[in-house]
Amino acid sequence: MELLKNLEWRYATKKFDPNRKVSQTNLEKIKRAIQLSVSSYGLQLYKVLIIENKNIREQLKPVSWNQNQITDASHLFVFCNYTKINDDDIDDFIRLTSQTRNIEMAKLEGYGEFIKMKLAEKSEAEQTNWLERQPYLAVSNLLIACSELEIDACPMEGFEPDKYNEILGLTEKGLNTCVIATIGYRDDSDRSQDLPKVRKSTDLLFEEIEQKVPESLVSS
């Protein structure tokens, strides 16, 4: 399985080579992989900012715990969740589904109302928590795509979301910085690349649950 080999190769890159850049061709492949990510109900209530501009990244570095990956990597990906759930977003999704699958809108309206109802059942805190989890699904696809392309990546939570929102003007757009990732190529001096992966054994990580049949259903 080539995927396992790729995942063995990747690691959270601590030091990037600032002189190497990800090609536009590979960047488009990574974007497509992110676009194909799963999301709850398929709504994709997030936006992904791709920042190559060094000046912007220099502004973001101090509010990213001064981590060098922010400025040394080829590109910085900023995954932003929507801050509110709006009926218009669900209507847009239903309309896109209708166009993409050539299904009459009338046949999809019931599904749209179902989604609105289920999301409305959540408290405001639950909605915020749900919205902030969505981008992480897309980050996973970025990491997998990069590993297949032998492009290094580092997912990061070491930053100040409010400052990112301020610098990038996200709040007024109804967006919130949730998680970030840097991509590029490892520097030869990054010692982290030679360290063995520390992972729990499969025996500790996994447990198989076998359904027990109630004794009342077992024939004598």
Q: Give residue 93's identity as a one-letter amino acid code.
A: F
120-166 tens-digit pLDDT: 999 999 999 999 999 999 999 999 999 999 999 999 999 999 999 99
Q: Domain map of the chain by residue range?
A: 2-217
Residue 113 has a pLDDT of 98
169-201 tens-digit pLDDT: 999 999 999 999 999 999 999 999 999 999 999
| pLDDT bracket for residue 55 (50, 70, 90) | very high
- Cα 188 to Cα 190: distance, rounded to the nearest angstrom: 6
Is the C-alpha dihedral spanning 166, 172, 175, 181 positive or negative? negative
Count of alpha carbons within 13 Å of 121, Cβ hemisphere only? 5
List b or e across 147-184, with b for residues whose CB sees 16 or more CB atoms inside 10 angstroms.
bbbebbbbbbeebebeebbeebebeeeebbbbbbbbbb
Instruction: Answer yes or no: are the C-beta atoms of 139 and 155 closer than 8 Å.
Output: yes
Nearest residue to 133 (alpha-carbon basis) of 34, 39, 33: 39
At the fourth CATH level, the homologous superfamily of domain 2-217 is NADH Oxidase (3.40.109.10)
62-82 tens-digit pLDDT: 999 999 999 999 999 999 999
> Is residue 24 predicted with pLDDT exceeding 60?
yes
Q: Kindly state the average pLDDT of the residues 84-107.
A: 98
- Cα 180 to Cα 50: distance, rounded to the nearest angstrom: 10
What does pLDDT average to over the chain? Answer: 96
Q: What is the pTM of this model?
A: 0.93
Could you tell me where the DSSP H helices lie in 11-104? 24-35, 54-60, 69-72, 87-101
Strand partners, 176: 81
* DSSP designation for 49: E
